[in-house]
Amino acid sequence: MTALLMAEGVTCRFGGLVALDAVDFHVGEGEIVGLIGPNGSGKSTLLSCLSAGRRADAGRIRLSGRDITRRRPSTVARMGLTRTFQDARVFGELTVTENVLLSRDWTRLPSFGLLRPPERAARERAAMLLDLVGLGGLAGEKAGSLSGGQQRLLELVMAMMPGPKVVMLDEATSGVNPALIAELSQHLRLLHREERVSFVIVEHNVGFVFGMADRIVVLQQGRVLAEGPPAEVKSNQEVIDAYLGA
Amino acid sequence: MSSGTPTIGTAPHQKAADRLSAAPARGLASSRFADPRLRAGLFAAGLAALLVTPAFGLNNSALLLLSTVFMWIGLTSSWNIISGFTGYVDFGHGVFFGIGGYTAGLLVTHVDMPFWYTVPLAPVAGLVFALLVGYPLLRLRGVYFSIAMLGAFMAMRELALVFRDFTGGSGGIIFKAVIDRTLFYYVFLGIAVAVVLGTVWLRRSQLGSSMLAVRENEIGAEARGINTTAVKLTAFCVSGAITALIGSLWAYQTAFIDPAIMFRDILLINLALMVTLGGLGTVWGPALGATVFILLRETLWGTEGEDFLLFFGVALIVVVLVLPKGIVGSLADRAHLARARRAGKEDGR
């Protein structure tokens, strides 16, 4: 499998605390990678470094072979790496549709596109994605009026809107009811199949992530503790001791 | 990045896209008023009435009052672009007004340039200043940006005072007086119409939506591929350039400028009050706020004399308490809520 996203020796410090210590991480084309670990193990920090939200103190990150280590987050997003956040970052005062349209593929703007309303192709894609996750009926509502679970679905749609290569989901099931989690898995599988997008799923919901991922990476204290297929990681004694429990 | 072309069942979504296309532009009020043709018709009728108004023999003070309303509509609408759309509340925006006035004044006195030739140069000066100041200061957020801009405003006023050989200092600059109220009526009407229509267009554009995204969640906007630095800087430059243009025209109308006139604290307060009254971040709020504010002030001044400030203050407090998002913002919220309730009933929700 070709590595689409490749991070080598990524180190990130918060003052004296080493949040990530020379972490190597990669995501293949069309792969779903689960990233798990105890609280404070560096999962979200790794996501921030990969998406350029936080600048790595050392190491190199490449997307499709292009160095993105020192790019700004918007550039990385335009290059095809999008993400969701632990606290869904939707634009509350804007409608659901506007939220999705603002997450468009900005590299494919028609001439003077910024000065015009979104073109038909973008509107169609927004409508299609919203219908796909069952938010089509709420398209005209303000995003801030949606429930927490709906906002997470909306953020997923926003991350998918530009047709990215890699989507990173930061605790997508947190605060979402079990019925909606099952729905979310279905949506992710459908999007994965239809859009051929790679996913990085950061999760504490072990059942969800082991059910979704092709490969699991376990972080502990800023280092990779274990890595491999879900069944293998599940039976790894070090992972059981450090995170999964008996 | 991969294609933006939908891969999952495109065709059934075309109608949905049409249905949704109106959503971003949706604004205030009832469904009847939301009809764009009706709104366009009302706007055209109002504009036509304003165009013929001077022909009905209005006296100079009435023309001056209306010119003032138009000028403030331009100022508030331009301030709204940076403060309302992007959420970077600029408490020193009057600096652009002063820069516009002084650009015109200095070119007229030092270069002997006819005033009307300076008109296009004033917004350029505002734009350059916005670029120079905006690039470092727009890295600040919230109240820090507001205070930094207030500092820029005060610094420029001091510079205008200190460099008296160049600026005339507190002695100011005198223009050749042009006492033609009708001319300025049409000039400021033109500015107000252009800025308001520009704001309507901006709100419908993806650039305008990006500005709102910056206001709503800057980190989230950046993660969606929006270059927030460029968006903020664009908003600041456009806003500053328009204000500088208005400043130059006002200076010419007044025929005399000095630092105390061109860099007035009250301008900053009035901008914030008018836009808060009408609705910060809305399209029509600043224009409505400016109109209501000026007319209310004039009315109370006429009836209550020196006590008008007391009545004026109480009136503003009541409005802010009853309509916390301003007149337009609060009405739009109520309309939105009513629409959602109607939709809920129709869906049997």
ipTM: 0.92
Domain of residue A113, residue span: 3-242
Contacts of A206 (CB under 8 A, 6+ apart): A36, A244
Contacts of B101 (CB under 8 A, 6+ apart): B122, B247, B248, B250, B251, B257, B261, B262
Given a contact cutoff of 8 angstroms between Cβ atoms, the answer to whether B239 and B81 are in contact is yes
Residue of B nearest to A92 (CA): B216
Average pLDDT over residues B19-48: 66
CB-neighbour burial class of residue B31 (10 A; exposed 0-12, middle 13-18, buried 19+): exposed
Average pLDDT over residues B48-69: 90
* B-chain residues near A78 (CB < 8 A): 1, 225
Q: What is the CATH number of the domain that holds A54?
A: 3.40.50.300
Tally Cβ neighbours within 10 Å of residue B96.
34
Q: How far is A246 from chain B (nearest CA, A)?
A: 38
Which pLDDT band, with edges at 50, 70 and 90, does B199 fall under? very high
**Inter-axis angle of helices B228-254 and B60-80, nearest 10:** 170
Cβ distance A94 to B213 less than 8 Å, yes or no, reads yes
The model's pTM is 0.89
| Confidence at residue A106, expressed as pLDDT on a 0 to 100 scale | 92
| Confidence at residue B32, expressed as pLDDT on a 0 to 100 scale | 57
Cβ distance B225 to A89 less than 8 Å, yes or no, reads no
Which pLDDT band, with edges at 50, 70 and 90, does B24 fall under? very low
| Confidence at residue B318, expressed as pLDDT on a 0 to 100 scale | 86
Question: What's the rounded Cα separation, in Å, for the pair B8 and A232?
Answer: 34
Least confident of A35-39, B182-186, B267-271, B335-339: B335-339
Cβ distance B216 to A139 less than 8 Å, yes or no, reads no
pLDDT one digit per residue (tens) for chain A, 246 residues: 568 999 999 999 998 899 999 999 999 999 999 999 999 899 999 999 999 999 999 999 999 999 999 999 999 999 999 999 999 999 999 999 999 999 999 998 887 889 999 999 999 999 999 998 889 999 999 999 998 889 999 999 999 999 999 999 998 888 778 888 888 888 899 889 888 899 999 988 889 999 999 999 999 999 999 999 999 999 988 888 887 775
| Confidence at residue B158, expressed as pLDDT on a 0 to 100 scale | 96
> Side chain identity at B205, as an amino acid letter?
S
CB contact burial B288-322 (16+ within 10 A = b; e otherwise):
bbbbbbbebbeebeeeeeeebeebbeebeeebeee
Domain count across chain A:
1
Q: Is the pLDDT of residue B29 over 80?
A: no
Query: How many CA atoms lie within 13 Å of A103's alpha carbon, on the beta-carbon side?
Result: 37
Most B CBs within 10 Å, among A74, A86, A191, to test the B interface: A74
Cβ distance A98 to B209 less than 8 Å, yes or no, reads yes
Sheet holding A32-36, edge to edge: A81-83, A166-170, A198-202, A32-36, A215-220, A223-228
Tally Cβ neighbours within 10 Å of residue B234.
20
| Confidence at residue B5, expressed as pLDDT on a 0 to 100 scale | 36
Bridge partners of residue B249, in order along the sequence: none
A29 CB within 8 Å of a chain B CB: no
Average pLDDT over residues B48-70: 91
Percent of chain B with pLDDT over 90: 61
| Confidence at residue A243, expressed as pLDDT on a 0 to 100 scale | 78
Please give the mean pLDDT across all residues of chain B: 87
Cβ distance A116 to B1 less than 8 Å, yes or no, reads no
How confident is the model over B275-296, as pLDDT tens digits?
Answer: 999 999 999 999 999 999 999 8
Which pLDDT band, with edges at 50, 70 and 90, does B344 fall under? low
Tally Cβ neighbours within 10 Å of residue B219.
12
Which pLDDT band, with edges at 50, 70 and 90, does B31 fall under? low
Task: From residue A17, give the alpha-carbon distance in Å to each of A13, A51, B173, B195, B343.
Answer: 6, 21, 60, 52, 52
B280 CB within 8 Å of a chain A CB: no
| Confidence at residue A36, expressed as pLDDT on a 0 to 100 scale | 93
Q: How many interface pairs between A and B have CB atoms less than 8 angstroms apart?
A: 180
| Confidence at residue A109, expressed as pLDDT on a 0 to 100 scale | 85
Q: Where is pLDDT greater, at B47 or B9?
A: B47
Cβ distance A114 to B207 less than 8 Å, yes or no, reads yes
Bridge partners of residue A166, in order along the sequence: A81, A198
B346 CB within 8 Å of a chain A CB: no
